[in-house]
Amino acid sequence: MQNIKLHDDSRHRFVLLNESEPGEEDGIRSNQYLIMHDDAGVLLDPGGFGVMPKVLAEMLHYLSPSQIQGIFLSHQDPDIVGGLTTWLELTSCPVYVSRIWMRFLPHYGFTDMSHFIGVPDQGMSWEPTSDFKLHIIPAHFLHSEGQINVYDPVSRILFSGDIGAAMMPMEKDDPYVDDFAAHLPYIEGFHRRYMCSNRAIRCWLETIANLDIDIIAPQHGPVYRGAAVTEFLAWLKDLQCGVDIMQSGGRFPQQFL
């Protein structure tokens, strides 16, 4: 699945550039996104080394690497950061990541950390251009200790990192979640195992409560739209996960151990 415009108007686009194939990302499909405003672009979780050529090819339909104003990494995992050394050969733009991962990134082979900017724990706003602002939302412990989300107020799309991520079977390649009940089996086990606790979830829900969200775009699996957005958030509010399960003596789903 490639190049789906989640939002497209005369000046602003939010594009799912590529969904990697399972063989490219160690069996887990991942999504790479581009936000464009006029001729300025922002990349969200550009992906591992194996998907970089395909993501670049899709991006070139819209703009050149020199037009990328910033790259955002939702967290520190290799399926997000693995291809970044190659991207930084093409662009000198800043790279934003939670401040707690700044000291770990050199282990990916970065010798020059001057491109990297640590996002403070409380999040921040960032203006790629004078009339284009993104809000960087803290989503700590879901599943990463230092995860960040990106909210685009023009498209009303929340890029949610691993929140909402789905482990989809090979034969299912739907771009959108339109039936949340049918989608639940593909997210429940992952969220129970990889989200830290219900308390962390509720902290995040309070953080995003005042955002006007039409679409939730996760790093893995299809995109939530319409009623699926509110149904997913309502389900998440009462989810017992992580240490909640450990403290109650429960067991994690076996497929995610």
Distances (CA, A) of 102 to 146, 165, 175, 253: 10, 24, 33, 32
Q: Is residue 172 very low, low, confident or very high in pLDDT (cuts 50, 70, 90)?
A: confident
Residue spans per domain, the chain: 2-256
Q: What percent of the chain has pLDDT over 90?
A: 71
CB 58 within 8 A of CB 2: yes
Kindly report, residue by residue over 175-218, the tens digit of the pLDDT: 999 999 999 999 999 999 999 999 999 999 999 999 999 999 99
Digit-coded pLDDT (tens) for 219-229: 999 999 999 99
Laid out side by side, the sheet with 157-161 consists of 124-129, 132-138, 148-152, 157-161, 215-218, 223-225, 176-177
Name the pTM for this structure: 0.93
Instruction: Give the C-alpha distances (Å, rounded to integers) separating 11 from 18, 53, 154, 156.
Output: 21, 26, 10, 15
Q: Is 216 helix (H, G, I), strand (E, B) or coil?
A: strand
Asked whether residue 27 carries a pLDDT value surpassing 70, the answer given is: no
CATH superfamily of 2-256: Ribonuclease Z/Hydroxyacylglutathione hydrolase-like (3.60.15.10)
